[in-house]
Amino acid sequence: MADVSIVHSFFLIFSGAAVVASVALYTRQPMIIAYIALGILLGPSALSLINEPKLMDEMSHIGIIFLLFLLGLDMQPSHLLNMLKKASWVALLSSAIFAALGYLVAFLCGYNQTESLIIGVAMMFSSTIVCIKLLPTTVLHHKHTGELVVGLLLLQDLIAIAVLLVLYSMSGNDNGGMMNYVKPLIGLPILICASFLFVKYILLKLITRFDRFHEYIFLVSIGWCLSMAVLAETAGLSAEMGAFIAGVSLATSPISQYIATHLKPLRDFFLILFFFSIGASFNLDLLGAVILPALILAVGAMLIKPVIFRYLLKGMKEDSSTAWEAGFRLGQVSEFSLLIAYLAANIGLLGQEASHVIQATAILSFAFSTYVVILNYPTPIAISDKLRRD
């Protein structure tokens, strides 16, 4: 099919999303799964109505940035810092266990040692976007659980960045040498300090002076979020981490909840593109070859991750119900896994089939984890009115 305009692409995506969301709501199914299914249906492997999902993938990245920014707005810095200190050993130990289990499953399924290692590494992380999308944002409900999950996700993000730096250095495009490894270590504390100083002495003064102009607050918030995302990338960190720091730096101000409320529709617009692009990028021709190992890995993530997190979090003196809930909310693989698969395939460490094992595992684990959470825990998209929390 010939290339279509961006307007036509948006028409297909959002009109289709409205239809599948209606069906999902009538049949009491999670809308995240409907968006992924729509991407598979309209993408190159099925109807091929959208042949080049790369642009959608790039645009959907903005949704993840806004998601982390809004998340930061709900996090008090002192509570978050305390949680990061407590959860660091849990993140490191759990990542090592998940990598070992993923390697073992992949090797037993016939993949070579290098491919098994990459698949194992991809299993280390949980999905920031799925976890946060399914966490209630209200202060009154499960605030501690939210801080615990977010602390673990942030630590996993740091590990993922280190993995990506190693893979990037192996690609032959590493022109910065050791500086690529040193930059994030120096950049992170500088970025955090600079953001809090800028908010305290400049940004809050501007917002307070012109707070009667609502569109001004809206524009300043978006500009602050994206500025920090770009600065974080320049410092060798992820754009998502920069957006999160931007949100946390504003969290202590009275205006933070007003900003969070008014940016949610913009966030949701881009997140629909994110889930659509996941489905559209999957090659259905390889489904028969990858479905068995992907199922084993996805089911393993759903069943084993909660158990591991439960016992590790008990070591932090967390109560059983909190430990189980955090474990189930973290029971999937990450969007970072997709990025690791893409980069490893590009530098020849991963074959096409092994790369699609990671993609299929991510899609299946997103689906399984979503069902488990919305059926058992409070979430903004819960099927039951009793469990629905915004």
In a domain? residue 165: yes
What is residue 278's predicted lDDT score, i.e. its pLDDT?
85
Q: How many domains does the chain fold into? A: 1
Q: What's the domain range around 107?
A: 60-376
329/149 Cα distance (integer angstroms):
8
Residue range 178-225, pLDDT digits in tens: 676 778 888 889 999 999 999 999 999 999 898 888 899 999 999 999
17/93 Cα distance (integer angstroms):
39
In a domain? residue 7: no
What is residue 137's predicted lDDT score, i.e. its pLDDT?
67
In a domain? residue 88: yes
User: Which residues in the chain show pLDDT less than 70?
Assistant: 1-4, 51-54, 137-143, 168-178, 180, 390
In a domain? residue 87: yes
What is residue 254's predicted lDDT score, i.e. its pLDDT?
83
In a domain? residue 3: no
What is residue 29's predicted lDDT score, i.e. its pLDDT?
80
3-state class (DSSP) for residue 379: strand
Residue range 134-156, pLDDT digits in tens: 888 664 345 678 888 888 998 89
In a domain? residue 49: no
Q: For the chain, what's the residue count?
A: 390
Residue range 27-61, pLDDT digits in tens: 878 888 899 999 999 988 888 888 666 677 777 77
Check if the beta carbon of residue 145 is closer than 8 Å to that of residue 326: yes
DSSP secondary structure, 22-55, as one string: HHHHHTT--HHHHHHHHHHHHSTTTT-SS--THH
What is residue 33's predicted lDDT score, i.e. its pLDDT?
87
Check if the beta carbon of residue 362 is closer than 8 Å to that of residue 278: yes
CATH number for the domain including 278?
Answer: 1.20.1530.20
Burial of 3 (0-12, 13-18, 19+ CB in 10 A): exposed
Burial of 60 (0-12, 13-18, 19+ CB in 10 A): buried
Of 228, 151, 234, 150, nearest to 194 by C-alpha is 228
In a domain? residue 46: no
In a domain? residue 382: no
What is residue 387's predicted lDDT score, i.e. its pLDDT?
78
